[in-house]
Amino acid sequence: MLAESDILNALRDCFDPEVKLNIVDLGLIYAVETAPDPNSTPKWPRQTVKVRMTLTTQQCPASGLILEQVHNRLAGIPEISKVDVELVWEPKWTPHRISAAGRQQLGI
């Protein structure tokens, strides 16, 4: 079974094209939930993944691209049978959510 850390590592391949930083270090991922999927076909142990995330602003022009990146990146993992991406606006994203690695990369 995939752990939350596996999902977060995969999501580090998804970037906000305006900021040039991956969405995990940018602090856009609020929660990751995984659960076994007893209805998956084929029947090997697969799981569903739900990601709760936000964007830097509600008017983010890259919102569709970012959400598509998340869905496609996770859907490409053989152990995942279903991906649900929930976009939320609370709590509001602030620059304080950027990780130390992200701050270093951005030079802030």
Structural domains of the chain, ranges and CATH numbers in brackets: 4-94 (3.30.300.130)
How much is the average pLDDT of 80-104?
Answer: 95
Q: Judge whether 51 and 83 are in contact, CB under 8 Å.
A: yes
- pLDDT tens digits for range 6-57: 999 999 999 999 888 999 999 999 999 999 988 887 767 789 999 999 999 9
Model pTM score: 0.91
The angle subtended at Cα 20 by Cα 16 and Cα 51, nearest 5°, is: 30
